[in-house]
Amino acid sequence: MRLWGTLLLLPLVAAAQKPQSAPEPAPRWPDGHVNLGSTPDHKGYWEVRPGIGGTPRAAAIPFQPWARAVYEYRQATFSKDSPLVDCKAAPGPSFFNSPGFEITEVPEQKEIFLLNIAGPHSWRVIYMDGRTHPANLRPTFLGHSIGRWEGDTLVIDTVGFNEKQWAVGSFPNTSLLHLTERISRPNLRSLTYEFTVDDPGAYTKPWSGKWSITPTTGSKWIEGGEMFEYICEDANR
């Protein structure tokens, strides 16, 4: 009986000892820098499931008193006043909401486009041509974004926000918001997103958050998937 039990365990032991195959590497452009989106060999998009998280606990946020009161009101009312409910655009972390997004680089234009499925089905333009922010920006929902590569990490610097949008969930922001985002793709099916909020109108110092998409998270790289139609206004009827 003991021998039979040992024989039954052998396949399990062998499976546990079998080395895991290395993850497929992230795709790259001809010049060597990482491709954060689809390629002819690996078409797809980044799926986002509810609860991706990424923001610190409220107790760790350096609120100014008025901003804390606004945050607590929004939490108590289940964010019913969120602009996303009315199909308005959201920048920064709030842009990457369920059901997903795609990142498309256009090297000849020196631009990267961030495209989302939900909300107003909108897009962000990241200028990669070395420009600086204009001196007199008209405040907008998505702001003005310039980007650069730091190794394999895309760094996005955005200013020029209006005060009609919610950039980070229920956390308030003002027109003084300076948002820095960092996106990296360590392998084909993984993406890491980090953000830093620097808004002296609402917080006493900058603060940051982070989330990751991997093969083991609820959110995933959808191999072979395509962006699909989502009409926010129709969904609200």
Domain coverage including residue 129: 38-235
The answer to whether position 43 is within a domain reads yes
Domain membership flag for residue 224 = yes
Q: What is the pLDDT of residues 170-226, one digit of tens each?
A: 999 999 999 999 999 999 999 999 999 999 999 999 999 999 999 999 999 999 999
Is residue 131 in some structural domain?
yes
User: Is 175 among the domain residues?
Assistant: yes
Is 26 part of a structural domain of the chain?
A: no
Reported as a single tens digit per residue, the pLDDT across 10-43 is: 455 555 555 678 899 999 999 999 999 999 999 9
Residue 23 falls inside a structural domain:
no
CB 50 within 8 A of CB 212: no
Q: Is 24 a domain residue?
A: no
More confident residue, 74 or 51: 74
Give the chain's domain count. Answer: 1
Spatial separation of the C-alpha atoms in residues 228 and 237, rounded to whole Å: 19
Q: In the chain, count H helices and then E strands.
A: 4, 10
Q: Is 67 helix (H, G, I), strand (E, B) or coil?
A: helix
> Could you tell me if residue 151 is inside a domain?
yes
